[in-house]
Amino acid sequence: MQTIKKYVEANTQRFLDELVELLRFPSVSADPKYKGDVQKAAEYVAQKLRDAGADNVEICPTAGHPIVYGEKIIDPAKPTVLVYGHYDVQPPDPLELWETPPFEPTIRDGKIFARGACDDKGQFYMHVKAFELMQATDTLACNIKFMIEGEEEVGSDNLGIFVKANKQRLAADVVLISDTAMISLETPSLETGLRGLSYLEVEVTGPNRDLHSGVYGGAVANPITILAKMIASLHDENNHITIPGFYDDVVELDAAEREALNAAPFDESEYKSDLGIKALWGEKGYTTIERTGIRPTLELNGIWGGYIGEGAKTVLPSKAQAKISMRLVPNQDSDKITKLFTDHFKRIAPEYISVKVTPHHGGQPAVTPTDSTAYRAAEKAIEEAFGKKPIPTRGGGSIPIVSLFENELGLKTVLMGFGLDSDNLHSPNEKYDIANYLKGIETIPLFHKYFAELSQQ
């Protein structure tokens, strides 16, 4: 631990500078106009892996954005850790709400502000620097493989193809991912489950053209009004989701499991005050921790239709559209839920309008075991680095590739995240605390050490 601390202290400024460089690339995977920047970010990651001592570094092309691969095999007899991360980021909109520009990383109050600071550049780059540290101090205890992709924020469409085509190259004993949050530096935690995702876009079409709302209003169904009614009907008065069959496969936790989950510290008034809201919302009969962890949800991610510019336009629009995503829990199936939603949404469409439903992407929910060698190694690493055993938690977000790794590579995943819920992921002013970044770089080598030790027992 002393060796690790000394190396991190001696290199803190460079570790920060390199992350800042990485954050400068606007590697927005969703928007084709950033294609060149996504490529440059991949090249930067590849170079940094080489600099840290990785072998066989390759920028692997896909039908979309490339995957960066690199490895260090010290001894085939030792266990192998496959590190997954993503160098692409969410779109930075709405731009006007950023205090400093999203791709000009700025340090304030011990935090780095930039799009991708926490999700996931700041987090996966800890692994690159921890690898450098282990190489430089000759303490690498496991073989290591890196697979850093550029399409996580758009559904990892091409990762599955790559994984299937490279099973040999990716062979390992565990997948290690830092792309989640812990409760705080004082209360470290480890995620043991992630929700799945079904993401769809819906389009409601009324008249074949925009109409004058004075001439036709009152006689022709307004697609915005109809879409609002359809959306409103998706949650009942208890905020249960009304799609028939939606909850059929949900695994209900027993009383003891729910009690353990609710033992995590949670201050409701602090939570509300941080968000600036007067009241919490959610499914009747469940706590906030349960609503964001073990229960499925349906959220509107975007809506648009009609005139949305300055001033007034008296139009009865032809179309209204929305982006809708559902978070899924074990044992819901993303494809099944996508179909249930689509069928339901078409069924509730009144005759005045027509409906188009387009699935965007999905991912299966996942639960990681807490009794595995890898989980125990993560637990010991965090206990040593933080001085406290981590609390197991259930995350609300989705990393769809966890089930991909399980199905295709037969590997379990450890979700050792160092972010905070307050990091503004997917929001303006995304940030990552420097203390968390450095603590992560300290913890990762301990994981490798304990994973090697426990694997030999």
Cα 374 from chain centroid (whole Å): 21
Of residues 379 and 430, the one with the C-beta less far from its own copies: 430
**Would you give the DSSP letter of residue 83?**
E
Parallel, antiparallel or unpaired: strands 189-194 and 391-394: parallel
> Are 169 and 69 spatial neighbours (Cβ–Cβ below 8 Å)?
yes
From 11, 27, 80, 90, residue interacting with its own copies (rule: CB under 8 A): 90
Cis status of the peptide bond prior to 120, with omega within 30 of 0? yes
Q: How many CB atoms lie within 10 A of CB 244?
A: 11
Of residues 79 and 392, the one with the C-beta less far from its own copies: 392
Establish if 396 lies at the interface with its own copies (CB under 8 A).
yes
Establish if 215 lies at the interface with its own copies (CB under 8 A).
yes
Closest by alpha carbon to 73, among 89, 93, 96, 55? Answer: 55
Establish if 338 lies at the interface with its own copies (CB under 8 A).
no
In angstroms, the CA 432 to CA 48 distance is: 20
Q: Give how far Cα 414 sits from Cα of 77, 82, 151, 312, 342, Å.
A: 21, 10, 21, 53, 33
From 281, 371, 387, 457, residue interacting with its own copies (rule: CB under 8 A): 281
Burial of residue 33, with CB atoms counted within 10 A of its CB: 0-12 exposed, 13-18 middle, 19 or more buried = exposed
From 250, 315, 409, 454, residue interacting with its own copies (rule: CB under 8 A): 315
Establish if 40 lies at the interface with its own copies (CB under 8 A).
no
Establish if 377 lies at the interface with its own copies (CB under 8 A).
no
Establish if 425 lies at the interface with its own copies (CB under 8 A).
yes
Of residues 391 and 454, the one with the C-beta less far from its own copies: 391
In the set 18, 37, 151, 152, the catalytic residue is 152
In angstroms, the CA 267 to CA 350 distance is: 44
Of residues 10 and 209, the one with the C-beta less far from its own copies: 209
**The token pair that represents 420 in the structure block:** 């905070």
Q: What are phi and psi of 144, to 5 degrees?
A: -135, 140
Q: What are phi and psi of 134, to 5 degrees?
A: -65, -35
The answer to whether residue 17 is catalytic is: no
Establish if 292 lies at the interface with its own copies (CB under 8 A).
yes
Q: What is the closest distance, in whole angstroms, from the C-beta atom of residue 321 to its own copies in the complex?
A: 8
Establish if 242 lies at the interface with its own copies (CB under 8 A).
no
Binding span for its own copies by CB under 8 A among 66-74, 164-172, 242-250, 302-310: 302-310
Residues of this chain, 111-150, that bind its own copies according to CB under 8 A: none
> Are 249 and 237 spatial neighbours (Cβ–Cβ below 8 Å)?
no
Of residues 53 and 282, the one with the C-beta less far from its own copies: 282
From 78, 129, 145, 295, residue interacting with its own copies (rule: CB under 8 A): 295
| Residue partners of 449: CB distance under 8 A and separation at least 6 | 139, 141, 381
Interface with its own copies: number of residues (CB under 8 A) = 99
In angstroms, the CA 268 to CA 365 distance is: 26
Residues of this chain, 168-197, that bind its own copies according to CB under 8 A: 181, 195, 197
Establish if 308 lies at the interface with its own copies (CB under 8 A).
yes
Establish if 313 lies at the interface with its own copies (CB under 8 A).
yes
Residues of this chain, 316-335, that bind its own copies according to CB under 8 A: 316-317, 320-323, 325, 327
Establish if 414 lies at the interface with its own copies (CB under 8 A).
no
The answer to whether residue 252 is catalytic is: no
Establish if 240 lies at the interface with its own copies (CB under 8 A).
no
| Residue partners of 196: CB distance under 8 A and separation at least 6 | 327, 328, 329, 332, 333, 334, 362, 363, 364, 365, 366, 398, 400, 403
Establish if 349 lies at the interface with its own copies (CB under 8 A).
no
Establish if 299 lies at the interface with its own copies (CB under 8 A).
yes
From 96, 267, 310, 371, residue interacting with its own copies (rule: CB under 8 A): 310
Binding span for its own copies by CB under 8 A among 158-166, 207-215, 335-343, 368-376: 207-215
Closest by alpha carbon to 405, among 201, 244, 173? Answer: 173
Between vectors from CA 452 to CA 450 and to CA 453, what angle results, nearest 5°? 60
Of residues 57 and 241, the one with the C-beta less far from its own copies: 241
> Are 447 and 126 spatial neighbours (Cβ–Cβ below 8 Å)?
no
From 213, 262, 372, 455, residue interacting with its own copies (rule: CB under 8 A): 213
Residues of this chain, 52-81, that bind its own copies according to CB under 8 A: none
Establish if 387 lies at the interface with its own copies (CB under 8 A).
no
From 61, 110, 217, 265, residue interacting with its own copies (rule: CB under 8 A): 217
